[in-house]
């Protein structure tokens, strides 16, 4: 359960509406059970509903973990879903190749913060840097992690923006 707690802590390490409530829920997890037959590490956390408040919002939490690189495979994604009452119901480890019963290392994942329409509005890199699109109010429609800890993303306004692992801008190219 220690690895799952680290993954969940990293996932909830950025600020968004309901983050504090979900952190309280995460601290009150009584146990977990595997919930997928594909062989991945996805779990159902059992939250003490009597001890913590429900979160508000949709079923998909607006943050996800993106593994920056993965030796011997395609980088994974971790998503968190809530039940209809607002309690954590599924911590999903998404594989894009053969599933294995292992979680990505939390400290090697970026946290992707999405808006209400699921566009990417910020990235918290493993280095601790938080990056937003260079043009105020813009959003990213893609995310391409690099094994060196940086990433590239394309914005609504058709710019491909690339960042180093420390969050500094490396390139910005118009791609329309």
Q: According to the 3-state scheme, what is the secondary structure of 100-141?
A: CCCCCCHHHEEEEEECCCCCEEEEECCCCCEECCCCCCCCEC
pLDDT of residue 176: 76
DSSP state at residue 30: E
**E strand intervals along 12-163:** 29-34, 43-47, 63-67, 77-82, 88-94, 109-114, 120-124, 130-131, 144-145, 151-154, 159-163
- With bands split at pLDDT 50, 70 and 90, how would you rate the model's confidence at 154? very high
Nearest residue to 100 via CA among 73, 126, 136, 121: 73
Residue 131 above 90 pLDDT? yes
Q: Decide if pLDDT at 58 tops 90.
A: no
| % of the chain with per-residue pLDDT over 70 | 100
What are the pLDDT digits (tens) for 72-123? 899 999 999 999 999 999 999 999 999 989 999 999 999 999 999 999 999 9
Confidence of residue 142 (pLDDT cuts 50, 70, 90): very high
**Does position 21 have pLDDT exceeding 80, yes or no?**
yes
Token representation of residue 158: 């058709």
């Amino acid at each position: 359960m220690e690895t799952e707690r680290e993954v969940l802590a990293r996932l909830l390490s950025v600020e968004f509406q309901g983050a504090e409530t979900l952190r309280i829920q995460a601290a009150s997890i009584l146990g977990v059970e595997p919930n997928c037959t594909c062989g991945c590490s996805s779990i159902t956390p059992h939250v003490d509903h009597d001890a913590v408040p429900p979160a508000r919002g949709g079923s998909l939490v607006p943050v996800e973990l993106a593994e920056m690189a993965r030796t011997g495979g395609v980088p994974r994604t971790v998503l968190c879903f809530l039940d209809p009452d607002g309690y954590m119901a599924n911590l999903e480890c998404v594989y894009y190749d053969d599933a294995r019963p292992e979680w990505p290392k939390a400290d090697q994942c970026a946290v992707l913060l999405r808006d209400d329409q699921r566009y990417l509005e910020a990235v918290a890199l493993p280095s601790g840097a938080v990056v937003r699109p260079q043009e105020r109010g813009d959003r990213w429609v893609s995310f391409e992690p690099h094994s060196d800890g940086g990433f590239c993303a394309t914005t609504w306004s058709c710019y491909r923006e690339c960042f180093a692992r420390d969050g500094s801008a490396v390139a910005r190219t118009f791609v329309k």
